[in-house]
């Protein structure tokens, strides 16, 4: 009897030790080695950054974001897209890791495992192939959101491709994007990462005194519709998201940008 109890204790200790070893291997041996140089390559003008409700602004070398701890993702991501960024450099895809600059710690990538959702980039990795450092920092979990696969690879990908075409045409763009984060959204994983019901993208070109803008709001579902049918005013995105865009611009310029959905000339 005593031997059986002793064996049971030994087996239990072995089991616990094995679990700990596998956890350590998962955490450290398979952790990504992201090579990211800490220098600010592209300064984003203040007028491009939306007013943040969450007040947790994070600035990386090639994009900025406002992190929502409640939803475990960015409420917006803002970045520049230049013609010179559009290279086809072959980059090794790194692992996703938590964002070291998010004070509350960004979501663990394991929330997405077996969830049925893609880890959808907000600042696309495909827009950052020009630099290993720029490419790698798009794999912080603060820059991803749950996306349905057919949406991510479909209409959302089509919009990202169109934005690259505009960067080729107009040379210099500012992009602001994110999911519409509202109350009572469903969540995935042990941290309940919110699944947005819609995503927006606002693209700005020109100077602060003569800017041109185009905005899109797309329901989070597969769609074969034309991009133009999802074109909206910035005002309508503000009402849904509770964010405030272009607040620091001249009042008349801001009013025109936010209210006009189709006055700007953006060739498809």
Residues taking part in catalysis: 121
- Say if residues 91 and 132 touch (Cβ distance below 8 Å): yes
Please report which residue ranges of the chain form alpha helices under DSSP H. 2-24, 132-137, 149-153, 155-170, 234-241, 251-259
Tokens 């969830």: give the residue.
115
3-state secondary structure of 177: strand
HSE (CB half, 13 Å, CA atoms) of 64?
22
User: Parallel, antiparallel, or unpaired for β 187-188 and 172-179?
Assistant: unpaired
- Closest by Cα among 199, 236, 189, 241 to 221: 199
d(CA 176, CA 43): 14
Supply the angle between the helices 234-241 and 251-259 in degrees, to the nearest 10: 90
Question: What is the phi-psi region of residue 49: left when phi exceeds 0, alpha when psi lies from -120 to 50, beta otherwise?
Answer: beta
HSE (CB half, 13 Å, CA atoms) of 15?
6
d(CA 224, CA 37): 40
């Amino acid at each position: 009897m005593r031997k059986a109890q002793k064996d049971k204790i030994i087996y239990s200790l072995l089991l616990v030790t094995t679990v700990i070893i596998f956890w350590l291997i998962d955490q450290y041996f398979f952790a990504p080695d992201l090579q990211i140089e800490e220098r600010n390559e592209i300064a984003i003008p203040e007028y491009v950054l939306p007013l943040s409700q969450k007040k947790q602004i994070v600035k990386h070398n090639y994009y900025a974001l406002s992190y929502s701890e409640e939803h475990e993702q960015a409420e917006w991501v803002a970045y520049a897209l230049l013609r010179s960024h559009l290279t086809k450099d072959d980059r090794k895809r790194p692992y996703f890791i938590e964002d070291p600059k998010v004070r509350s710690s960004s979501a663990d990538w394991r929330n997405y495992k077996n969830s049925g959702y893609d880890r959808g980039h907000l600042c696309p990795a495909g827009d950052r192939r020009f630099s290993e450092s720029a490419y790698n920092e798009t794999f912080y979990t603060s820059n991803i959101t749950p996306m349905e696969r057919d949406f991510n690879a479909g209409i959302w990908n089509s919009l990202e491709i169109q934005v690259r075409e505009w960067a080729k045409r107009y040379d210099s763009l500012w992009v602001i994007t994110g999911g519409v984060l509202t109350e009572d959204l469903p969540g995935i994983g042990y941290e309940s990462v919110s699944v947005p019901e819609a995503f927006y993208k606002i693209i700005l070109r020109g100077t602060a005194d003569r800017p041109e803008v185009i905005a899109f709001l797309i329901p989070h579902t597969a769609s074969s519709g034309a991009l133009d049918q999802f074109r909206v005013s910035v005002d309508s995105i503000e009402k849904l998201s509770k964010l405030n865009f272009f607040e620091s611009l001249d009042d008349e310029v801001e009013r025109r940008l936010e209210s006009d959905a189709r006055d700007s000339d953006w060739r498809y």
